[in-house]
Structure 1
């Protein structure tokens, strides 16, 4: 190849302003982004103008002055995911955030500081944090082992107030402060003590106010002291007597919150599945009330508005709802992503493929906005339960959703929708009221394939030619305890064969209809298991299957990965699984031996993203090298338990669904095309202060890429990862280039596809 001629032609194109040269901005590489639900709000606190909102899985702020919503996650400095409660210390202008795992963060001016004292504390007791109450520079955390008094300014736990008897230490559920007195609602009753008590750390020095009822809430407002039992609120008088303020039989008192006029009472009725906020003045007169679906607590801002933390509908008041855009749930049992449009199936199953009856449906991310389709938001999907697999029709973009309970749902771009259930599919052999679909995929001829579990036929297909449905079954070679005719994890290989596995240890199955859906007489199939001559799988418990860009089948099992390099010869018995031995660092062994490999995804460079119960790996095309290794401890991953991974072929982002939420990582590989098209360079221009990677996207597949100065001196050379080349911004001597224009030249292996562009370094 004559690179000199290519260089001259490209240089002339750059100088003259070639019309195919485009420079544009895009998101930085290696950036993480969390995609969390914001509707399940557990608590809120305020400085009077800004609200700090703790969701079950997320945290955000809302500023009343400019109406700005700001979301935060681990990539912004949060220590964990999964919150439990929140408080605000006025003296230090700091929000105190408690996590469900007993971790603690302090949040001030957009910055988080972690205090893992309780999370790391070695104790066999209940370390759950039930409430954060802030007063005069301290945060009092009500926990299962007592009250932790946290000095907010010093960022340290100063002391613990413990309550115990012969049976052991008992929990404190709520804490409040009067002018001179502290109050604690414990598992054994309401206690109080003077703030000046020198023995305050010992519960025995506190005075028991009342133990006649099970109290979990206490509050002080306008000089009055209140306590709540399961369904009633009482005022505690100075003489120790109690008077009933409010009762709601059948309801649960969720929280008592002081206001500038009196007390706000949040309650919830599990039978009616609704709740209310009742506002009382200091005399006990009812000022106001309004309904809330699932209220958890109330904060009052300086304008007098009562803001409700609602476990179903986010942050709200009487007239408005403030909820950042996010998916409906944390689960992601299947993902589809393309050019930043993402579909998430929230349905669920356990390790034995049992139903979870999840009704969160699906969520769709489009143009940075999430839309949910389920029984609460979209009537056609009112019986969409356990949505576990999805596929898009390549001809019209219709989305098909496999439900483990109610058959196959469809959703068109015009929002028309429906369900193919009794009209097409077969009921479950044991539970005939259900239609348990477990997979859906399109083949190269646009035929729609579906797998069923515990039905007479594992496979069904709709012909793209005539719209007819055809059924396919394999002889029962999987006796109990395997699923009868069980099928899951459906994919179609490059030869039009259907691959699926039998849940709960039934091995891997391959079916070939020979391209004649209407004629089953020539069909062939086989079953792969452990053992030489039987398929040589690493384990009969198959978890996932993927077809890579070279047509090789990768099989994730409960004991590592198997590789099938000749899938067209499998049914003939001429190809078995390779259990590859690889060397990582100083250790050699079978590929992911001992790991339960839940998911494998292939990126534009044919590299493999592997998800297990211990995090995520990115390995090279041939599995010989580990490129990235992510866990919840070294990355914004919310959990090490990975459910699904998918790669956006256009954007290069890797979407990782865990059991505690969805995140994405902007990686370096995209699908390369047959030609250079819509090439982007980002960031652009490249400022002297920027030290991150520089990406060139939209290149021909695996292009040879060279970067030179304007005189033609080579600065850097690399090979594209699929359609994206990455440069660290340094020349071969490790130095940053001087300010100025630099030229980009890219070509495929035979020189028939070339590209010329430029990038600019500025101070």
Structure 2
């Protein structure tokens, strides 16, 4: 096996923009993983790489990398194949669901072709786009149902060929044109149809030349080669199949590139000349690295290999590995900065530190299936991602499975704790694993064998770490001053096996502790020494829409907001709840004059509170809501259709209180939104205004002048140099999104440059008078406007 000497190339430059698709680059940023590669194509100057649901380009000369994602108009769905058409300067992107998108590199626009996606006569499972093959001015699209013909001049569909017996739909993996015939490799055989035949929509006009399961067919100069599902490679001569070789491993890609045949299998890449002479071969030890998924050659001797994660071992993908014919022991790792995986389970942010987990439990707190058992952690420092792969955990921790919850120590942001369903609780300091706690060195105990249900951990204001562990006699575990203690919940949950675990936890300002459960609703408790006072609500008769409470948060007024799988509730007085007067309320809003319950029967996954006490509410199926502080006004409702969200299933949200950035995690990637709302400061000492000066090229109306680091309750007056009042605002009166020229959003005020008359102010110096209405502290700022 070849040992890789990998040189990392992690370059990131400005994203391209979209014109026909809505341009979200001003307010949104994409945080997608580019490690698992689906397909690769090229032009003379660039490599075009399709990751799971985003694309990046790599310039052969400058080595610059640019990304194209939902921020630029891509759908966010799973990509299956790409093809660059150089003379048209367009990139065709095919998806698993049948969608095709066309990226125009000249004007950076993206538009969608939905004919296959919306075709009702084709089953959803058969709409997958398997391959694009260009011949003259048409592209033959191999799909799960047959072959579609696409005119690249008119950008519209022509005929569709259902080539199965009696015009039935069959899965076509690849097509090519050779000696006047369209050859189609399908799971039910190899077919060919005469290119000049005007009646190819009739399956009877297609000849079946072999009945086996074919995964690929490629024309290489004057020769035709085919790949069988058993990994045998054949030359096709006059419809006869001549065996050439057998490839070790599963063939994942079969390409004709620059008069060469490029074959990619699980752990190898082979390149053959047109007469099937081997010119390049590499074998990679997949136990140490990643599976290989696709490859091509460029610039005569360079090889670009697309990799993907190995689920069973936890090895992450490596993006593109670049090597050459003449230096096969050196591989350069090429991909944009990004997280380990697109699927986030939980994120946590404090200052410039953002952490994300990718494992997790399912909706009833049992072990999640799929590729979530062996994952790692993704870490973002506000500029780039610097991740910790699974194998790093596996070297130090026994059974680091299902990394689920993560909490940053508020007293030491360089220390984080991660809950694991396989090893208990893992401690990291300065991104190094420094400890892990299980039954041997803590009060944490497994519910079975070496498996734990430690799903949540949270710090209280005294620096104690409270860790919840499901299906055990003492589910509450407290770590304080290097000592552990644990407490029973028998008063609320008599049989610990009746409750799998706990979804979310939160403290209020009085030190009351609240938990969301799957079967026992919301539990509130107060710990006084070793004595715990409990109360809980779970039944519909008690006002709960469901006993499954997914998320909890305390807002700036001390009210507890809770989300269930069937709606939203509020506890207005948390002290009364814990002391025996448990009560929850819903929120009633008027919709066209009709009273209705806010988010009735909605599956709510997270609720976050920003600096203005407004609420960000994440849901499954319906996207992300941004409500006013009392929930009576919907400020934004972001969905896949009106924003760069890759899906309407939002798994978690967290807010950078300093910069007002909202991070939105889904199972198809994470995006962030610049909300401008920030957390109010204690004083006005650090208040500042930007940009300053305001130059003529700054769009003051839309981008606005920001006054940051305001205190909680302020009055702001903007005066011209002669002392005339230009604008005025006050906290709780001139709130944002109400149409004011000067508006206050938490610790940030925004001014659109207009005066009391609604006109944009003239060039000059303007005074900003800040007055804290509670402490009477004042501060004066100056801003210069140049028009």
The normalised TM-score by structure 1 is 0.89
What do the CA deviations read for 1:363-406 (whole angstroms, capped 9, x no partner)?
A: 11014111222323453357322222122223333101111232
The answer to whether the 8 Å contact 2:304/2:320 transfers is: yes
After TM superposition, the structure 1 = structure 2 runs for residues 27-176 of structure 1, keeping only pairs within 5 Å, are: 31-109=27-105, 110-125=108-123, 126-166=126-166, 168-176=168-176
The answer to whether the 8 Å contact 1:632/1:640 transfers is: yes
After TM superposition, the structure 1 = structure 2 runs for residues 320-469 of structure 1, keeping only pairs within 5 Å, are: 320-356=332-368, 357-378=372-393, 379-380=395-396, 383-397=399-413, 398-413=415-430, 415-422=432-439, 423-429=441-447, 431-464=448-481, 467-469=482-484
The answer to whether the 8 Å contact 1:102/1:119 transfers is: yes
The residue aligned with 1:258 is 256
Q: What is the distance in 1 between the residues matched to 2:242 and 2:718? A: 81
* Helix, strand or coil at the partner of 1:569: helix
Aligned with 2:298 (options 287, 290, 301): 301
Decide whether aligned partners of structure 1 residues 632 and 756 sit closer, same or farther in structure 2, where only a CA change above 3 A counts. same
The answer to whether the 8 Å contact 2:166/2:204 transfers is: no
The yes-or-no answer on 1:217 pairing with 2:216 is: yes
The yes-or-no answer on 1:655 pairing with 2:663 is: yes
The answer to whether the 8 Å contact 2:479/2:485 transfers is: yes
The answer to whether the 8 Å contact 2:470/2:496 transfers is: no
The residue aligned with 2:725 is 714
The residue aligned with 2:188 is 188
The answer to whether the 8 Å contact 1:453/1:483 transfers is: no
What do the CA deviations read for 1:327-377 (whole angstroms, capped 9, x no partner)?
A: 111222222123343111112221111112432221110141112223234
The yes-or-no answer on 1:573 pairing with 2:580 is: yes
> 5+ residue gaps in structure 2?
1-23, 285-289, 309-316, 324-330, 732-743
Aligned with 1:316 (options 315, 321, 325): 321
* Helix, strand or coil at the partner of 2:385: strand
Between 1 and 2, higher relative CO (CA 8 Å, sep ≥ 6) is seen in 1
What do the CA deviations read for 1:561-587 (whole angstroms, capped 9, x no partner)?
A: 111121112122234112232224544
| C-alpha deviation, 1:667, in angstroms | 0.4
The answer to whether the 8 Å contact 1:89/1:139 transfers is: no
The answer to whether the 8 Å contact 1:525/1:571 transfers is: yes
The residue aligned with 1:595 is 602
The yes-or-no answer on 1:507 pairing with 2:506 is: no
Decide whether aligned partners of structure 1 residues 299 and 203 sit closer, same or farther in structure 2, where only a CA change above 3 A counts. farther
The residue aligned with 1:705 is 716
The residue aligned with 2:12 is none
| C-alpha deviation, 1:263, in angstroms | 1.1
The yes-or-no answer on 1:728 pairing with 2:752 is: yes
The residue aligned with 1:229 is 228
Q: What is the distance in 2 between the residues matched to 1:334 and 1:731? A: 44
| C-alpha deviation, 1:714, in angstroms | 2.7
The answer to whether the 8 Å contact 1:702/1:723 transfers is: no
Decide whether aligned partners of structure 1 residues 178 and 686 sit closer, same or farther in structure 2, where only a CA change above 3 A counts. farther
Decide whether aligned partners of structure 1 residues 741 and 449 sit closer, same or farther in structure 2, where only a CA change above 3 A counts. same
What do the CA deviations read for 1:703-744 (whole angstroms, capped 9, x no partner)?
A: 322333322333333342221112334334443333333332
* Helix, strand or coil at the partner of 1:371: coil
Alignment length (residue pairs): 717
The residue aligned with 2:651 is 643
The yes-or-no answer on 1:526 pairing with 2:544 is: no
Aligned with 1:582 (options 585, 589, 599): 589
Q: What is the distance in 2 between the residues matched to 1:207 and 1:480? A: 67
What do the CA deviations read for 1:190-239 (whole angstroms, capped 9, x no partner)?
A: 1123322212333321222222x210211110211111112334333433
Q: What is the distance in 2 between the residues matched to 1:29 and 1:70? A: 13
The answer to whether the 8 Å contact 1:697/1:725 transfers is: yes
Q: What is the distance in 2 between the residues matched to 1:100 and 1:708? A: 58
> 5+ residue gaps in structure 1?
1-27, 269-274
The answer to whether the 8 Å contact 2:361/2:367 transfers is: yes
Of stretches 665-674 and 171-180 in structure 1, the one that deviates more from structure 2 is 171-180
Q: What is the distance in 1 between the residues matched to 2:444 and 2:506? A: 21
Q: What is the distance in 2 between the residues matched to 1:118 and 1:682? A: 49
Of stretches 379-388 and 305-314 in structure 1, the one that deviates more from structure 2 is 379-388
After TM superposition, the structure 1 = structure 2 runs for residues 4-15 of structure 1, keeping only pairs within 5 Å, are: none
Decide whether aligned partners of structure 1 residues 86 and 531 sit closer, same or farther in structure 2, where only a CA change above 3 A counts. closer
Decide whether aligned partners of structure 1 residues 738 and 77 sit closer, same or farther in structure 2, where only a CA change above 3 A counts. farther
* Helix, strand or coil at the partner of 2:237: coil
Q: What is the distance in 1 between the residues matched to 2:159 and 2:496? A: 55
Q: What is the distance in 1 between the residues matched to 2:433 and 2:654? A: 26
What do the CA deviations read for 1:673-727 (whole angstroms, capped 9, x no partner)?
A: 1112443434453435624232222111243223333223333333422211123
The answer to whether the 8 Å contact 1:92/1:137 transfers is: no
Decide whether aligned partners of structure 1 residues 255 and 77 sit closer, same or farther in structure 2, where only a CA change above 3 A counts. same
* Helix, strand or coil at the partner of 1:78: coil
Decide whether aligned partners of structure 1 residues 209 and 435 sit closer, same or farther in structure 2, where only a CA change above 3 A counts. same
The answer to whether the 8 Å contact 1:478/1:485 transfers is: no
Q: What is the distance in 1 between the residues matched to 2:671 and 2:73? A: 15
Q: What is the distance in 2 between the residues matched to 1:376 and 1:150? A: 45
The residue aligned with 2:311 is none
Q: What is the distance in 1 between the residues matched to 2:470 and 2:552? A: 17
The normalised TM-score by structure 2 is 0.87
The root-mean-square deviation of aligned C-alpha atoms, in Å, is 2.3
Q: What is the distance in 2 between the residues matched to 1:235 and 1:529? A: 65
The residue aligned with 1:13 is none
Aligned with 1:279 (options 257, 266, 271): 271
| C-alpha deviation, 1:297, in angstroms | 2.1
| C-alpha deviation, 1:751, in angstroms | 5.8
